[in-house]
Amino acid sequence: MNNRHTTISFLSDYGLQDEFVGVVHAVIAEIAPHVRVLDINHNVPPYDVRAGAMSLTRAVQYLPTGIVLAVVDPGVGTSRRAVAIEVGGGRGYFVGPDNGLLSGAVAMAGGADRAVELTNAEHHLLAHGATFAGRDIFAPVAAHLANGVPLTEFGPLVDPVLLTPGLIPLPQESANGTQCEITWVDHYGNCQLNIGLDDVRTWGSPIKVTIGETVRMCPVVDNFESIGTGGLALVVDSYGMLALATQRGSAAIEIGIGVGDAVSLERA
Amino acid sequence: MNNRHTTISFLSDYGLQDEFVGVVHAVIAEIAPHVRVLDINHNVPPYDVRAGAMSLTRAVQYLPTGIVLAVVDPGVGTSRRAVAIEVGGGRGYFVGPDNGLLSGAVAMAGGADRAVELTNAEHHLLAHGATFAGRDIFAPVAAHLANGVPLTEFGPLVDPVLLTPGLIPLPQESANGTQCEITWVDHYGNCQLNIGLDDVRTWGSPIKVTIGETVRMCPVVDNFESIGTGGLALVVDSYGMLALATQRGSAAIEIGIGVGDAVSLERA
Amino acid sequence: MNNRHTTISFLSDYGLQDEFVGVVHAVIAEIAPHVRVLDINHNVPPYDVRAGAMSLTRAVQYLPTGIVLAVVDPGVGTSRRAVAIEVGGGRGYFVGPDNGLLSGAVAMAGGADRAVELTNAEHHLLAHGATFAGRDIFAPVAAHLANGVPLTEFGPLVDPVLLTPGLIPLPQESANGTQCEITWVDHYGNCQLNIGLDDVRTWGSPIKVTIGETVRMCPVVDNFESIGTGGLALVVDSYGMLALATQRGSAAIEIGIGVGDAVSLERA
């Protein structure tokens, strides 16, 4: 057992209203009592694989070496594959459904070395039903991996090339600027775009922002207090991306915008 | 001190809006620094003893051996008893109010061996008021139990037969089928019924479901993707119970139903 | 390294909707793997420094000796100071923005011995933007403090007298009684006032309560069950303060009141 891991980082869409997250912690504690579970985020919107993938991709660079358990799994109980993916020559593993949830984070971690399909029921819990794979399949596998069980014990190898890719919306160049999309509305109502500061660095500030019928001149700033009361700005957020933000308010609510909305940026 | 415990599993209706849960963690860390606190669920609806009892009963089979601390306690500060209950010959303890919250989980754990009323203030915190027994009585007792303090140090023995039972609604046979009740609406809007797959296994699929004026023919399925867009189904959930569910939507919202609503099942 | 700490207690307004809290845990785990992070509360209303200060002040007396990390920081990225404050001759540290958030808790912990401004970027993370100081500045500093790095390594000393004080609203004596304010509405809807039982102990019960146009005679009670259905009472809460409360309901919703509302108390 020379490949033990001490941390399982855990993301899901289970919410915190029920005992789902607690039960997964309990299953891990039973199988691998030495492990610390680090909760990344359990309020991914229900069934929203893309939102989960983006949250995980933002977080992964900060996670301790070890195992990542991620479950946003609308296809639970169907033929969608359950997988474990090895990265960094065995320094890390991602465990979850093969539906695109893991792909962005796996790429950030250097790409998949090997992957297996989790078909060996010996390492699962006996289940009363098929709807809680987090408890019955993914958590036990993550815990056994943390105990040093070799990857190939969990099922047959899958060619990493065949894993489901994630869908990340890319910004589109247009005649006058760039057509972007809101990819994330955070707790404060800041609306992250799929474009970074680097892409508009030569444009100067302000930038002309068009959202549906709304047209605003938005300064590019690096903190919220610089926005000014009543203003709307493009803040360089903590990932280097541009986010629509107001000062001490919710841009999402004030402008009436949300994830998936188109945002056009043009030189002023 | 040969009876130390390393885990305290903790359920409450404290919510996560205030510092209540954090303060209970702090009290435990102060008295028993070696203990890991496993949060089961803190979003039991305020004062809802039955919902708390059901959440705890669902979770208990997965919890590590040790101590369970559970607090949903509308009668805090009155003459309702505060208790600690021993199960499994001292392998586990349940600490909380004697109001039915613990009874289902205690039964799942094999039944009460011994119980004491928590009257010995020596093992409580000095309190400014009587409204936060979780902090002042239950958490300190759980932590001292984890340190190996014998059960009878906490107060006089209570006959386990006299502990308050839980109220679990049983389904009723009717002329044409079974009268059930919605006992839990989870984070996704799935509505668990108080009837298991075993009870309808011979009925075939679909089953006729009547909720108030709504009558639907619902297939019995074992995953959400089989439901089909716009459909309503009886899913065999992860506890082997039947739950009304839609595909990637909330059955509770779409049908307008909630906990306590009557649901009639009949052979189609 | 003779000044290591094992616990970092963590409060913020990050909410639990995103991965912010998880990422801060991850940053701490990376730098100081031996540390246990104790989550006090992450649902302080966004940007509400006073609410955060009050939650922290209520909790601090229960926290384990060690480090407190607190982040409610509308001025992030501006010239507002980031600080670490030493209390109890080095037994404890508070890390966060110097905006009044920490001051009440520091006072409860015996007052500031020394303070430094966190200008030494050697102990920060390299950041893509300036908006997530919790991840990039405060968490790394807290973790390095837990590892025993001396306070003065983090930046120049600041005279504790120059730290930003908190603003705590004091009750005002009036001709007929006392003019109070609602300082906290908890998860249950109980409305804490800025007045303790000691201040009205000689008044008898009930007390005349005026909120806007509403006038109610409220008994002073020590538990919720004594209130009676439909009643409104002044409950002695778990901090010895008076709180407007109903029985198994939300006083805030039933009376239509919230934080900052004026409440007048008079002898009946």
Does C138 lie at the interface with A, CB-CB under 8 angstroms? no
Average pLDDT along chain B: 95
Can you tell me the distance from the alpha carbon of B11 to that of B139, in angstroms, rounded to the nearest whole number? Answer: 11
Question: According to the model, what pLDDT value does residue A2 have?
Answer: 54
Average pLDDT over residues B44-69: 96
pLDDT at C10: 98
| Structure token pair of residue B16 | 């996560």
Which whole-number Å values give the CA distances from C95 to B234, C37, C40, C142, in the listed order? 52, 14, 14, 6
Cβ distance of A248 and C47 shorter than 8 Å:
yes
Evaluate whether A248 touches A224 at the Cβ level (below 8 Å).
yes
Q: pLDDT digit string (tens) for B101-117?
A: 999 999 999 999 999 99
Domain A7-162 has CATH 2.30.40.10: no
pLDDT of residue B1: 44
Q: Which residues of chain A have a CB within 8 Å of the CB of B197?
A: 129
Q: Do domains A7-162 and A172-267 have the same CATH topology?
A: no
Question: From the CA of B69, how many Å to the nearest CA of chain A?
Answer: 13
Strands C177-185 and C262-267 come out as antiparallel
Q: What is the pLDDT of residues C44-87, one digit of tens each?
A: 999 999 999 999 999 999 999 999 999 999 999 888 999 999 99
Residue among B136, B116, B16 nearest B76 (CA): B136
Q: Give the residues across from C72 on adjacent strands.
A: none
Instruction: Identify all chain B residues contacting A137, using CB atoms and an 8 Å cutoff.
Output: none
B216, β-bridge pairs: B209
Q: Which residue has the tokens 């609602």?
A: C182
Question: Which pLDDT value is given to residue B2?
Answer: 54
Note whether B74 contacts C248, CB cutoff 8 Å: yes
C33 pLDDT exceeds 60?
yes
Collect all residues of chain A within an 8 Å Cβ-Cβ radius of residue B63: 26
User: Helix or strand or coil: residue C134?
Assistant: helix
CB-based contact, C238 to chain B, within 8 Å: yes
What mean pLDDT do residues C162-178 have? 90
Would you state the structure tokens that stand for residue A128, as one six-digit string? 């009363």
Spatial separation of the C-alpha atoms in residues A241 and A263, rounded to whole Å: 14
Gap from B85 CA to chain C (nearest CA, Å)? 25
Q: Report domain extents, chain A.
A: 7-162, 172-267
Q: Nearest CA to B235 among B226, B215, B244, B194?
A: B244
Tens of pLDDT, residues A57-68:
999 999 999 999
Which of the four pLDDT bands, split at 50, 70 and 90, describes residue A228?
confident
Half-sphere exposure in the Cβ direction for C106 (13 Å, CA): 30
Cα of B265 to nearest chain C Cα, Å: 34
CB-based contact C30 A64, cutoff 8 Å? yes
Residues of A in contact with C124 (CB under 8 A): none
| pLDDT exceeds 50 at position A24 | yes
Which residue, among C12, C17, C19, would best test binding to A if mutated, counting the most A CBs under 10 Å from its CB?
C19
Q: Could you tell me if B136 lies within 8 Å of chain C, comparing CB atoms?
A: yes
**Residues from chain B contacting residue A23 (CB–CB below 8 Å):** 40, 58-59, 62
- Can you name the CATH fold of B172-267? Elongation Factor Tu (Ef-tu); domain 3 (2.40.30)
CA distance A216 to chain B (A): 35
